Amino acid sequence: MSTFRAAAVQMRTGIDVAKNVAAAEALIREAAGQGAQYVLTPEMTTILDRERPRLLAAISPEESDPSLKRFQALARELGIHLHIGSMAIKLGEDGVANRGFLIGPDGVIRARYDKIHMFDVDLAGGESYRESRLYRPGNQAVAVDLPWTRLGMTVCYDVRFPNLYRVLARSGAAVMAVPAAFTRTTGEAHWHVLIRARAIETGSFIVAAAQGGSHEDGRETYGHSMIVDPWGKILAEAATEPGVIVAEIDPAMSATMRGRVPALANERAFSAPAAGAGDELPARKIG
């Protein structure tokens, strides 16, 4: 394993795909210009839109998506590993995947990941989100080998489900990608805690590229893209505006931290308590 330079791109994606792709390309070029060899963009890089008919009219199936082809050409031109945190990809007539793509410096797609956990919540102040009405969830954890280390691929709301990160860490991932579009409300309360917790409990680097600011579809996102080391130290952090953050990643530090605090190795299977009255989850064996 050797060190490498990673970048997180922060965006304020709107409802015009062409404008969003142009904005992403400019920031990716900026990151590459700062020496980044791995560049992560946020969740919903190419469009952020809660209006289903308008979203469906603007997106394409993977095999014919012009934005994806443009990103592949860009990765090849810049000679970088380009991780498009996620895009809305059409599945059939009315299905949509929230799908991330890891593109190699040859322009070839090395891995795909469909977001597993859907953000279906009602927040204080009247905010309500039903991601499952727009997107079909994935069901497969994904880790992919980079030249320097192994990368775990996740998206946004996944960060609230720590077992996913433990599974990825056990598969050998020393770096976890968390492209996101956290709301301002949840971000202010939980973003820093969740990102640092996932780093600490798995002994992993976290590269988290976020959306930030007020968007055309009416939502407001928190921003604060971060790169965090396995000890939980924030190596780089953005504010709310679009931009790029960069940090050096030394995968060997992950192995060191996992040896110093062997939480993954020390984990033990245990039995869950019987479900209480009104609970829906049955008793089951954990681990």
CB 178, CB 153: distance < 8 Å:
no
Provide CB contacts within 8 A for 165, sequence distance 6+.
Answer: 152, 154, 159, 176, 198, 201, 202, 204
Q: Is 88 helix (H, G, I), strand (E, B) or coil?
A: strand
Active site residue 90: no
90, 115, 131, 237: which is the annotated catalytic residue?
115
43, 90, 131, 237: which is the annotated catalytic residue?
43
90, 131, 156, 237: which is the annotated catalytic residue?
156
Q: How far apart are CA 287 and CA 281, in angstroms?
A: 16
Query: H helices within 172-284, ranges in order?
Result: 184-186, 192-202, 252-260, 263-266
Q: How far apart are CA 240 and CA 59, in angstroms?
A: 26
Q: How far apart are CA 27 and CA 13, in angstroms?
A: 12
Q: What Å distances lie between residue 283 and 117, 269, 270, 274, CA to CA?
A: 22, 14, 11, 5
Active site residue 43: yes
Q: How far apart are CA 287 and CA 277, in angstroms?
A: 24
Active site residue 156: yes
Active-site residues, by number, are 43, 115, 156
